[in-house]
Structures are given as C-alpha cells and as structure tokens.
Amino acid sequence: MLKFLFALVALALSVPAGGLLAGLDRKLTARLQSRMGPPLLQPFYDVLKLCGKSPCVSNPWLVFCSFVCVTASALALFLFYMQGDLLLLFFVMTISAVFKVAGALSIPSPYSNVGAQRELLQMLAYEPLITLVFVGIASVTGSFMVADVYAVETPLLLQLPFLYLALGYALTIKLGKSPFDISACHHGHQEIVRGVLTEYSGPQLALLELSHWLDTILILGLCALFWHTSFVGMVILLVITYLAEILVDNITARMTWQWMLKNAFGPTLALAVFNILWFYVR
C-alpha cells in the first residue's frame, strides 16, 4: 500500500517536474543562442492557454488518441515508480507513441501523414535500443524488474557503459532533439509545419504536451537506474545527461530519416550488443 501511495504522489509530482524541465530546456537553449528566452514557467502558461481554447476537432479520433496517449504515458511512469516489469513498461510506453501516430494518420492531411510516417521511423530507430538496454539490465540483475536493480551493489553504469550511450542516443530520438527532430519540430526550417502534431489543437495538443513531459521524466528515470547506489551520483548523472542533450540539440542540424536509421542500427546497436557480450565474457 505504501508503495502504491508513493507511486501516485510521484506521478502527480512528475507533471510539474516535467513542465519545469521543459522550461529549463527553453531557457538554456535561448542562452546558448544569445537570447533571453521565455520565463521558466512558460510551458505551464502554454498548456493552460491550450486548455482554454475552444475545441476544434476535424476527427473525433484525435480526441480519443490524445487521451490514450497521455493515459499510457502516465501508466508507464506509474509502473516505473511501482518498480514493475521493464518489458511491460516498454509496451505501455509504446502504446502512447502508437496512438499519437494513429490520430495523425486519421486525418487526410499530407503534413500530418508525413509527420506520422516520420514518427513511426523514429520509433523504429529508438525502440530496439531501449529493448537492448533492458536486456542488458536483465543480464546484470537476473530479471526485468526495476526492484531488482536496487539489489545490485555496484552502479550499472560501470558494467554497462556502452548501453548507457545507446540509451542516451534513444533519449535524443525520443525527445525529438536535433538532429532527430524530423517528425514534430516547430522551428522555422521544418517543411511539414508541426508534422505529426499538425492536426492536434487546443485541449488535445495540451494532453500531448503533458504526455511529452511524462515521457521525459520516464526516460530520465531509466537513466537514473544506471547509478542507483548513490542519490548524489544519480543527480549528477542526470544533470550531465540532460545538459548533454540540450547541447547536442543546439549544435547539430536536423538530419534525414535515412541518416537516423543508419546511425541507430549501425554504431549504436553495435555498441549495445558489444556491451552485453562483454558483460558475459569478462
């Protein structure tokens, strides 16, 4: 019961934490570009403004998909806080991404459809990496349960350093950072408007933004497992990881989906497989 209550409270706190991370991301990005940037709380203002807009839905399926998307993201994060099965968590997280794409494909809009296809390609790029990360964690702990990670006496990062690099690569793709912002980028150089998010508006777009915040917390939570033996070490690892993501986002230009898949299934998969084999033979 205590674990259940803790998971509920942590899930509730993850929403403002995700919004603050989004605001910090914007602020640091602006500083790197010699701009003042928006206020730290701007993401909350944006979501509240979207919630206050009158619904303008071209297809009722968009409403359903947006609710399923945020529900699945919340459930995946809840399973993480409950220290549940990593594979089950992965499948629930995938449901969120699939329904976001399904909503975009339900509209006969070329921009929305192209963005949805690119989102599917991004899923094809990062999901095998996350799966291999979970396999690597299971090879160390003996199971796919998050709870068993905390029974390991040494940090996972020391045993699975290359898999952590693979997870960082997947994090960049999952968060839509450059050079992988090919499906839903809102910058001026994006030729497909908002891509997979083009037809979402008002409250539905607000729900997808909340889903993105929860996904960010979940992926960072998975990163935190790699230094579970020390809270200070965990915080330092997360800060370095997220700052690296922001830096990469600002020093790289958007690449094509062919380049993304080539690099995801090439060097990164090789690193992940090498790390798993190295763990067994060392």
CA dihedral 117, 195, 134, 13 (to 10 degrees): -150
Contacts of 275 (CB under 8 A, 6+ apart): 136, 160, 161, 162, 163, 166
Reported as a single tens digit per residue, the pLDDT across 38-90 is 889 999 999 999 888 877 777 788 888 889 999 999 999 999 999 989 999 98
DSSP state of 145: B
Q: Which residue in the block uniquely carries the two structure tokens 């807009």?
A: 53
Q: Give CA–CA dist 130/166, Å, rounded.
A: 8
Q: Which has the closest alpha carbon to 103: 93, 94, 113? A: 113
Structural domains in the chain (count): 1
In the predicted structure, residue 190 carries a pLDDT above the cut 60: no
Three-state SS sequence of 255-273: CCHHHHHHHHHHHHHHHHH
Q: Give CA–CA dist 119/98, Å, rounded.
A: 9
In the predicted structure, residue 192 carries a pLDDT above the cut 70: no
**What six digits make up the tokens of 179?**
């050079």
Structural domain for 136, as ranges: 2-281
Q: Give CA–CA dist 133/164, Å, rounded.
A: 8
pTM of the model: 0.89
Q: Which has the closest alpha carbon to 212: 243, 177, 241? A: 177
Query: CA 63: distance to chain centroid?
Result: 22
Reported as a single tens digit per residue, the pLDDT across 211-266 is 999 999 999 999 999 998 989 999 999 999 999 888 888 887 777 767 777 777 77
